[in-house]
């Protein structure tokens, strides 16, 4: 089946397609955006957000957390069935950024080149799974054409630049038992709700640049993409992200709670859907 030509939604100011050169900064944004601050009462991670629940040892192994997100960003960018955008804004400076997140987990590898305050810098990331009949080739063709030029010339249609491999990810920051619990109890129902839908796979904003409209701009672009494709859209979200999705018309359809019987910690995630309505 030949893919049906689709007019890509225009990118609003401050948004652009992600590139492999963005991976170090994107990993930093994911760490900062998903980071769960210590609970004020007991100093432990909050029980309601997935980062602290699934990565209880991130403070001991920050390089593993960072490498894991860097590897994930590399794989998403290289995947022809995934569209990845970044949001940019003026760099506030290292002091302002580090005031929002524990400095020990931001860039343990030293891979990020610091920019001067006032320069454009990536402040948010988002990725959508757009797999479907004919869609993967469309994504790898038209979407990759937004990317930067290769040194020897333009991207060819249907070609996606290969992202460089990162070092081996040891995942010592994760609780492997909890990862298994999530897979056993939640993977199936999540897949059932998202079957055949465009999935907003991840959305992360650096806390220092929140409330500037960049996160909403990313979500809005994804809803326009789903509408252009005639697809409903789904997302799995923690409680902190629910407001953003509800603002853009998503409806909560199910809450999933996983409890670790070894202690009192549990995590709750929600599945939210934005149904496609023809003509809207």
- 141 has a pLDDT exceeding 50: no
Is it the case that residue 131 has pLDDT exceeding 70? no
DSSP lists the bridge partners of residue 82 as 129
pLDDT band at residue 17, thresholds of 50, 70 and 90? very high
CATH 3.40.630.30 fits 15-160+171-274, yes or no: yes
pTM metric for this prediction? 0.82
Kindly tell me if the per-residue pLDDT of 47 is higher than 70.
Answer: no
- Helices 62-78 and 23-34: angle between axes, nearest 10 degrees: 120
Contact 25, 121 (CB under 8 A): yes
B/e letters for 80-109, b = 16+ CB within 10 Å, e = fewer, are bbbbbbbbbbebbeeeebeebbeeebbbbe
CB 184 within 8 A of CB 209: no
What are the domain boundaries of the chain? Answer: 15-160+171-274
> Residue 139 pLDDT more than 60?
no
C-alpha span between 53 and 176 (Å, rounded): 11
- Sequence-separated (6 or more) residues with CB below 8 Å from residue 165: 74
């Amino acid at each position: 089946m030949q893919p049906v030509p689709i007019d890509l939604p225009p990118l609003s100011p401050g948004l652009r397609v992600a590139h492999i050169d963005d991976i170090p900064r994107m990993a930093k944004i994911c760490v900062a955006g998903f980071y769960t601050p210590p609970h004020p009462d007991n100093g432990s991670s909050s029980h309601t957000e997935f980062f602290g629940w699934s990565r209880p040892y991130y403070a001991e192994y920050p390089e593993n957390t960072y490498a894991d997100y860097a590897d994930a960003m590399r794989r998403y960018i290289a995947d022809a069935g995934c569209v990845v955008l970044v949001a940019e804004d003026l760099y506030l400076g290292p002091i302002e950024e580090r005031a929002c997140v524990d400095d020990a987990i931001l860039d343990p590898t030293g891979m990020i080149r610091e920019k001067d305050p006032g320069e454009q810098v990536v402040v948010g990331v988002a990725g959508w799974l757009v797999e479907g009949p004919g869609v993967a080739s469309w994504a790898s063709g038209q979407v990759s054409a937004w990317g930067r030029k290769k040194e020897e010339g333009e991207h060819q249609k249907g070609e996606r630049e290969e992202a460089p491999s990162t070092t081996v990810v040891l995942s010592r920051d994760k609780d492997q038992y909890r990862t298994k619990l999530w897979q056993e109890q939640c993977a199936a129902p999540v897949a059932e709700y998202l079957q055949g839908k465009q999935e907003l796979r991840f959305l992360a904003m650096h806390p220092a640049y929140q409330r500037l409209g960049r996160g909403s701009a990313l979500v809005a672009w994804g809803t326009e993409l789903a509408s252009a494709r005639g697809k409903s859209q789904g997302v799995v979200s923690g409680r902190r992200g629910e407001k953003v999705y509800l603002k853009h018309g998503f409806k909560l359809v199910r809450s999933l709670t996983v409890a670790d019987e070894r202690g009192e910690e549990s995590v709750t995630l929600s599945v939210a859907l934005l149904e496609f309505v023809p003509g809207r």
